[in-house]
Structure 1
Amino acid sequence: MSVIDKSMSIIDIVQKYPQTVEIFRNYGMGCLGCVAARFENLEQGASAHGIDVASLVADLNKAVGQD
């Protein structure tokens, strides 16, 4: 069962699971402190960066031990 899904807020994910910061950076989403990260959900943020959200969600869940 996944603990992270595409509807979650980026900032909430990072605050709850700090180990995901490296995953976001690996995907080119280094703007975790930006204003948009507080308001965008994971799907919106991934879309804005041209990232496949399903792959990102899978890698984030692996990082938190849920795959």
Structure 2
Amino acid sequence: MFKVTEDMTIMDVLRQDKEVAYVFMKHGLHCLGCPGATMESIKDAANVHGIDLNSLLNDLNKFFEEKSK
């Protein structure tokens, strides 16, 4: 199963499954197509946008866990 980590970029995760975009949007990361999505880590993006990193990672990994069932 694919596991999302804080050092991955948003684009790393979207390349695995574009349907995961709604999880980022739910957490307030709406700039999925911006250059930062390919360069900065999920941790950095969460910090810049004031998003709870652990909550975001949990939801992203739940998404992939459900998809693997």
Q: Which residue of 1 aligns with 2:55?
A: 55
Partners of 1:16 and 1:37 in 2: CA distance: 14
Q: 1:6 and 2:6 equivalent?
A: yes
* Count of paired positions: 66
- Structure 2: which 5+ residue stretches go unaligned? none
The TM-score normalised by the length of structure 2 is 0.86
More helix by share: 2
Q: CA deviation at 1:2?
A: 6.7
Paired AA for residue 24 in structure 2 = F
The TM-score normalised by the length of structure 1 is 0.88
Identity score, percent:
35
Paired AA for residue 40 in structure 1 = E
Partners of 2:52 and 2:60 in 1: CA distance: 12
Partners of 2:2 and 2:38 in 1: CA distance: 22
How do residues 1-67 of structure 1 correspond to structure 2 at under 5 angstroms?
3-65=3-65
- Structure 1: which 5+ residue stretches go unaligned? none
Q: CA deviation at 1:9?
A: 1.1
**Which digits, 9 at most, give the CA deviation of each residue in 1:33-63, with x for residues without a partner?**
0011110111001111100111100000001
